[in-house]
Every structure is written in C-alpha cells, then in structure tokens.
Amino acid sequence: MCFTMRTGVCSPPRMRRPAHIPRSTCRRPAAWCVALPLFLFLTALPGAPGAVAPAAARQAGAPGPSSSDTLTSPPVLANLSGKPGVVELRLTAAPARLELVPGKPTDAFAFNGTVPGPTIELREGDSVIIHFRNELPEPTTVHWHGLHLPAGADGSPLHPVPPGGSQDYVFNVGPGTAGTYWYHPHPDRTTTEQVAKGLFGALIIRAAHDPLAGIPDRLLILSDNRFRPDGSVDMPEPTSLAAQYDAENGREGNVLLVNGRAMPTLSIRRGELQRWRIINASAARVYRLAIPGEKLIHVGSDSGLFEHPREVDDLLLANSERVEVLVRGTGEPGRRTVLQSLPYDRYDPHTRPPDWNQPRDLLELRTSSDPPVSGLSVPATLRAIPAIDTTEIAERRVIVFSQGLINGKAMDMHRVDISARLDTTEIWQIENVVGMDHPFHLHGFRFQVLDRDGVPEPYVSWKDSVNVPKHGVVRIVVRFEDYAGKWMFHCHILDHEDMGMMGILEVR
C-alpha cells in the first residue's frame, strides 16, 4: 500500500520488500529520491548495557532545582479530593495562544492551558476520576498511555469525545505499577496534528515503597516540532513533498524541546544523584540518549524500575517509550555536559533526512558550585519483577508490520483483528518486514520482551512499547488480566497510526 494514497499524490516510496529480493539489497524506485530536497527541514536522528556496583545511601536534604535552571517542569495537576487514596482531577483540552518558540505566538491546543500539559501524579492503590472536557473544535480523546484500566477509560478512538463534550475517566491504580507514563489524544486519524499542536503530558505513578526515595526526580518530556516563520505549527499541505516525507518517516521537527523549551539548563551538585524520568512524546523522532563522557545508570523503562540498575553509554528511546536513569554530578563546579541525541538510522535510505547523522543537543547539565554531596550509591536491587509464566501459552501469534499495514491490513474501527481470552497468556512475534523501524505499542496490558532477533532479553522489565527495527523480529509475552474489551495495538509513529497502521484486540 502506498502511504500517500489519502493525499492523492502517488509516486511515493514503497517500503514493502518484494519476496524475491533479499533484505540487504532491497531497492526502490530511485526517481523521486534524486529530487530529495536537501532543504527539507526534517531533521533526524538517533541506535546498549553493563552492571552497577552495589551499596545504598540516601540523599538527605537533596537540593531542589536551582533558581538558575531554565529547565522547568509542567505544573502538577491539583487533586480536588480531600479523601485519602482518592484522586479527582479536572482536565480540559482547548485552543490556546502560547509562545511555543520564543517571541512567536502559536495557535496551539493545550491541556489546561500549558504545553506540555500538567503532570498527573498518582500513587499505587489510588482510585482516580478525571473529569475531562473537550473545548476543541473537533473530536478528541485522552489516552492514558501504558495504564492498565477498564477499556472504556482507555481513551481509544472507539470512545471519542465530541467538541463541547465531556467524559469522566475512572480507574484504579494497581499495585506494582509505579512508573512513568503519559497521556495524549487518540482520535481517529488526527492524533498527529493534535499532538503537534501541544496536547501531551506526563503521568507519574509513585510506589508505596520506592527504593530510590530520597533521590530527587527530574521530568524530561522530549518533543520536537516544526514552525512556520509566523510561529504557527507547520503541518504540510496534504499534496506536498513534505507531506510525503511525513507520511513515510513520520513527522519530525527541527526544533527539539525538553518540557517545551529548547536546550534548557539543569544544575547538579558534585556527587549528587538525580533520577531522570524521560518520555519520548515525539510523533516520530527516535532518541539515542547520551551524555558524552559520562555513563548513564539505567534503572527503569516504560512501567517502572528494573530489578537491578545497568550502566550504559547510551539508550535508545523510541516513540512513546520511557526510561528512568540516574545521573551523577561529576567534575569541577562550572563543568558543562550535554544530554544529546546521537545519530540513529531508523530510516529507509530513500527518505532518510540529510542531517540524520548529526548529534542533536537536548539539555545542558552544569556542575554547580554548591558543596559536593558524598557517599551516595545506587541500591543493587530495586524491586522484584517475576517473569511472566510461559508454561501455558494460549496462543502464539505473528504480527507482521509492513509499511502502513499490520498483517496486510489497514485499521478498520469495525473489525476485530485478534480475539483473546481473559486470564490467558499469549506470545506475540512482531515482525518488521520493511526497511525502516516501527515501534509497536499495545494498549491496556503491559508485556515483557522475550527476545529480539532471537537474542534473549538480558533482563526482565515491564513494557508497553517496543521498537521493532527494520527487518527485525521482537517476541513479547503478555497476560490478559482483569479487563475485557477492545484494545488498540499499533505503530507509535503517529502518522502511521493515523494512516491505519493499527489493529484491534478484543479480550473476552
């Protein structure tokens, strides 16, 4: 299928590899890549592991963000309930005129008037009710990405909220689900545009007993965008070449933002440990995160902490994935290091942006002149994660990702693609048969990765999204617990999702 079918232009790159052509030599019509306009403002980027020495200590009197920091966090959404264990929130999506880039007002869409939207803070065991109001001129939903909740509260495209409409999202926060999540709209076919206009925010679930309590948290929501000279969000004309690139690569922007700000600064004391919760809220950009010259201590992924920390040089963060890392302050006061996104080739060669191989700066980390902190170490064990029992597998399924299609089909809201039984365990083998990466995401149920290209996953973790590299195969195991209903599974490149690279799982 041709990705630009809906635009009516058709000489787009076709990504499906004909069966007789070996993977490495898959060739495509070259004509339009000759015209590959170097001016395309699509920029791009970003593609590892070890162990950390044990011990334990608490960072007593850990400093909050310094006043010179330009990294700011979105406001935390106020809880209207006074009852313990009950969280009642109000969230409104509405048009807003905001300075998304300095000095240029943008006609944006915002949750409660801010981009990113307010941060939702929950605790394991909470009963949650979120009163949502849609003041946008179009239908929307709020999807709580990664949460395990009733299907009717999932904010999937099956439950649109009309303009002027309201919906209460009601759910409980399960034990053992502490982690970093996020929320975003999920309307039928218009998710890319609504997210580009500013609708996304973080959701953090805190643990009853957090092994890293005492280490200060920093939230880093990564997004990218493209603006016209007048400050408006640049969505391409449907028939333009830029639209074809977006359809193929997913929409990337040349402006990279952390919590809505380009290249903010953050300070850290010598010896201090900070816990960074990083969310990839970009429609299509994949980040290969590194602080050159420093190690990152990778402590968690989509749905919370690992069993043990791992020391790494860099971390791949595909669309909608999250990581938790510990960063340590090093060097003399005034030392500056940069959190970067290193080159990572997720692209098909024919639509790969010309500057894909350039590192991009995200945030500057400064060692402050405050007195150093000493004696801090990282606990060797964070929590126990039992591996999902695979002795009884109800179904083994193969999910084939081709360009824009899943198992050869485009999304149909009235079709059920996979039927599964409640309280059973399944293994899904996700095969990407084309020459660009597609990140897989499943709603409602977190899973564990078994292996990637046959290589067993070296550690157990809870995931809801996993990148499936070009021509790669990832196997996951998932248990369908608690909630019957219809759930989406899809590629989390938002343009691909909008164009139908999505299917429906019904759990009964």
Interface with ligand C2O includes 143 (CB under 6 A)?
A: yes
Interface with Cu ion includes 346 (CB under 5 A)?
A: no
CA 378, CA 12: separation in Å to the nearest integer?
Answer: 50
Q: In the chain, helix, strand, coil percent, each to 5? A: 5, 40, 55
CA nearest neighbour of 272 among 121, 379, 374, 131:
374
Query: Among 360, 443, 479, 486, which residue interacts with ligand C2O (rule: CB under 6 A)?
Result: 443
CA nearest neighbour of 142 among 193, 199, 100:
199
Closest residue to ligand C2O, based on beta-carbon distance: 145
Tell me the window of 133-141, 250-258, 452-460, 487-495 that interacts with ligand C2O (CB under 6 A): 487-495
Query: Among 145, 270, 328, 463, which residue interacts with Cu ion (rule: CB under 5 A)?
Result: 145
320 binds, among Cu ion, ligand C2O, none (CB under 5 to 8 A by kind): ligand C2O
493 binds, among Cu ion, ligand C2O, none (CB under 5 to 8 A by kind): Cu ion
Interface with Cu ion includes 443 (CB under 5 A)?
A: yes
438 binds, among Cu ion, ligand C2O, none (CB under 5 to 8 A by kind): Cu ion
CA 289, CA 46: separation in Å to the nearest integer?
Answer: 8
The angle formed by the CA atoms of residues 345, 349 and 353, to the nearest 5 degrees, is: 70
CA 401, CA 428: separation in Å to the nearest integer?
Answer: 12
The two beta strands, 418-420 and 296-301, are: unpaired
Minimum CB distance to ligand C2O smaller for 130 or for 312: 130
Minimum CB distance to Cu ion smaller for 145 or for 322: 145
Tell me the window of 207-215, 224-232, 369-377, 486-494 that interacts with ligand C2O (CB under 6 A): 486-494
Contact in structure between 56 and 64 (CB atoms under 8 Å): no
Contact in structure between 284 and 361 (CB atoms under 8 Å): no
Minimum CB distance to Cu ion smaller for 327 or for 491: 491
Contact in structure between 202 and 182 (CB atoms under 8 Å): yes
Q: What are the two backbone dihedrals, phi and then psi, of residue 494, each rounded to the nearest 5 degrees?
A: -60, -35
490 binds, among Cu ion, ligand C2O, none (CB under 5 to 8 A by kind): ligand C2O
Query: Among 148, 251, 322, 438, which residue interacts with Cu ion (rule: CB under 5 A)?
Result: 438
CA 365, CA 374: separation in Å to the nearest integer?
Answer: 19
Report DSSP state, residue 73: P
Report DSSP state, residue 39: T
State which of positions 95-134 bind ligand C2O (CB under 6 A).
Answer: none
295 binds, among ligand C2O, Cu ion, none (CB under 5 to 8 A by kind): none
State which of positions 467-506 bind Cu ion (CB under 5 A).
Answer: 491, 493, 496
Interface with Cu ion includes 256 (CB under 5 A)?
A: no
Contact in structure between 138 and 282 (CB atoms under 8 Å): no
**Minimum distance between the CB of residue 154 and Cu ion, rounded to whole angstroms?**
8
**Minimum distance between the CB of residue 15 and Cu ion, rounded to whole angstroms?**
10
Interface with ligand C2O includes 281 (CB under 6 A)?
A: no
Question: What are the DSSP calls for 368-412, one per residue?
Answer: -SSPP--S----S-----PPPP-SS-SEEEEEEEETTEETTB---
Chain CA centroid to CA 432, Å: 19
496 binds, among Cu ion, ligand C2O, none (CB under 5 to 8 A by kind): Cu ion
In the complex, which residues of this chain contact ligand C2O (CB under 6 A)? 143, 145, 184, 186, 320, 441, 443, 488, 490, 492
Question: Interface with Cu ion by CB under 5 A: which residues?
Answer: 145, 438, 443, 491, 493, 496
